[in-house]
Structure 1
Amino acid sequence: MGTEALATPAPREQRVLMQAMLTRLPEFSDRLAQLLSDEDEFYHQVDSTAPDELRKVCRANLERALTALVEGRGLPLDAARKTGLAQARQGIPLPSVLRAFRIGGIFVYERLLELAGPGFINPARTVEINSNVWKTIDLYSDALTTAYSEVAAELSQEKLALLDGLLQGRFATQPELENAAKELDLPAAGTFVAVVTEAVEPEERPGVEALLRARRWKSAWRPGAEVGLVVIDRVEDVRRLRDLLGTLPLAAGMSRPFNGFLEVPDAVHRARVARRSLATGAAGVAVFGDSPVTTLVASAPEMSRDVLRSVLTGLLVLPKPERQVLLDTLIAWFAGHGSAKEAADRLIVHPNTVRYRLRRVQELTRRDLSDPVDVGELYVALEAVRLTDS
Structure 2
Amino acid sequence: MTAEVGIPSRTGRAGRGPWSDIPRELAEHVLPHLDLVAEEIIKEIRFQVREYSRGEGPYASTLRTVVERALTHFVDRVAQGGPHPDPDFFEAIGRGEAGEGRSLDPLQAAMRVGGLVAWRRLSENAWELEPRVITALGEAVFVHQDDIARQAAEGYRLAQADAAGEMQRRRRRLLDMLLSGGAGHDAIADLAAAAHWPMPRTVAAVALDIRHQDTRPPAFPPDVLVDLGRTQPSLLIPDPDGPGRNQLVDRALSDCSGVIGPTVPVTEAAHSMRLARAMLQLGQRGVIDAEGVVRCVDHMSTLILFQDEQLLKSLAELRLAPLAHLRSSQQDRLAETLLAWLQSGRNANEVAMRLHVHPQTVRYRLRQLEELFGDQLLDPDLRFDLEIVLRARRLQQSVAPVPTAPDQAVAGEVISLRRV
TM range (shorter): 0.3 to 0.5
- What TM-score, normalized to structure 1? 0.47
Larger radius of gyration: 2
